[in-house]
Amino acid sequence: MKGKRVLVTGGAGFLGYHLAQQLPSKGVAFMAFNDIAPFFEDEYPTDSLCVNVDVRDKEKMRALIRDNKIDIIVHAAAALPLWPKQEIMSTNINGTRNVLELAKELGLERVIYISSTAVYGVPEKHPLVESDPMVGVGAYGTTKIESEHMCAQYREQGMCVPVIRPKTFIGTARLGVFQILYDWVDSGKRIPVIGNGENLYQLLEVTDLIDAIYLAGEVDPKLANDVFNVGAQHYDKVKLDVGALCEFAGNGARVQPTPAKLVKGTLGVFEFLRISPLYKWVYGTADKDSYVSTQKIEEKLGWKARYSNEDALIASHRWYLEHKEELAHVKSGVSHRVGWDQGILKLVKKFL
C-alpha cells in the first residue's frame, strides 16, 4: 500500500479508526473514509478525507472514488447483527456489489473485503481452513457468504479481491459486548462463562488484523488474490484467558462456569423479549470450540500475530479502565465503538 490512495468504507467504525491510526505510518499516501455514522475527525489524519456517504448510494460512491483518485478500497462497511434485518441485507449485499462494480469500472488496483469467520456457522471440526463449508447463521452470516461469492466472481473476471476472514477482534477503543465483560470484571464480580470454560475460543488483536490487511494490499497480486483466515496464534481455554483478565484486575473477579443449556435458553428468551443486548451468534457459540488455521496467510503473505488472546484482552481492558469515566457519558448504541445497554444483564450482575 506504500504510496497508494486508499478508501476505507465503514471508516467511522472500530476497524476504520485503527486503520486511520496505523496505515499512514506504513507509507499510505492518502486516506479517505466514508460512513453513515458521524466521524470524530480529530481521530483521523489531518490530511485525510472523512465523508458521510452511504455505500448503497452508487453515484456518490462513484464520485468519491473517482474524484479522489483511489487506488485501493478496504471494504469494511457492514451492518452488524444487532441492526434490523433489512438494513443488514441492503448494506452488506448492495453495498458490496456497488464497491466491486465501481472498482472494476474505474480500474482500481484492489478491493480488500473484510469478511468474518461467521461464514463457517457453528462447525464441528477445528481448526477451520478456508476451504471448509460456509454455513450462514442469521442475516449477518448469510450476507457475508453472499458477499464473498460476489468477490469470487470478480476475481474470476481478473480483479484482485483479497478476502480477510478475521476472528472476533478487539483492542483499544473496542466496546460493544466487550464493555459488558470489562464492566463486570472491573466490578470484581463472578464472571459467568457459558458452559465449563474448557473450550478453545480464538480472538484477534486489531493491530494484527491491520497487518494482515496491509499485506493483502502490498504483496504481489497473485499471492494476495485469495481468501485468508486471521486469528491469534496463541490462545487457551476460555476459563484460562478470561481468568488471566480477572487476575490482571486483581479485585476478586473470577470465572464462574454455568450450565450451558440453561443459560443459552434463558438468553434466548431475553433476546426474544428484547431485554438483553446479546444475540444468538454471541451466546450460541460461547461454549463451543472456535478457532481457525492461519497457516495460509502465514505462508502466502508472511503474516504473523504479535498478540495472544490474553495479551489482547488485557490491553483492551487497560484502555477501558483509562477511559471509563468519559465513556459513562457516551450514549449507548449498536456498534463496536460504543457501549451497549446491558438491559436485564444489569440485574443479573447484582446477584453475582
Contacts of residue 28, Cβ cutoff 8 Å, sequence gap at least 6 = 1, 2, 3, 4, 5, 6
pLDDT (tens digit, 9 = 90+) per residue, 320-345?
998 888 776 666 655 556 666 788 98
Q: Any idea what the Cα angle at residue 280 is, between residues 279 and 282, rounded to 5°?
A: 75
Measured distance CA(52)–CA(37) in Å, rounded: 7
User: According to the model, what pLDDT value does residue 123 have?
Assistant: 85
Give the pLDDT of residue 274: 87
Query: What digits encode the pLDDT tens for the residues 159-212?
Result: 999 999 999 999 988 877 888 899 999 999 899 999 999 999 999 999 999 999
Give the model's pLDDT for residue 331.
61
Q: Is the peptide bond before 127 cis (omega within 30 degrees of 0)?
A: yes
Contacts of 187 (CB under 8 A, 6+ apart): 251, 253, 349
Tell me if the pTM is above 0.85.
yes
Distances (CA, A) of 345 to 115, 134, 146, 251, 349: 30, 32, 34, 21, 6
Distance of alpha carbon 241 from its chain centroid, rounded?
Answer: 19
List, by residue range, all CATH 3.40.50.720 domains of the chain. 5-161
CA torsion 253-258-263-267 (nearest 10°) is: 20
Residue 124's pLDDT is what? 83
Residue-level pLDDT at 329 = 60
The CA distance from 138 to 144, in Å, is: 10
For the chain, residues with pLDDT lower than 70 are 328-340
- The CATH superfamily holding the domain 5-161 is NAD(P)-binding Rossmann-like Domain (3.40.50.720)
Question: In the prediction, which pLDDT does 137 show?
Answer: 77
> What 3-state DSSP class applies to 311?
helix
What's the confidence (pLDDT) of residue 341? 79
Which among 149, 161, 174, 106 is positioned nearest to 335, based on CA atoms?
A: 174
Q: Give the count of beta carbons closer than 10 Å to the beta carbon of residue 257.
A: 16
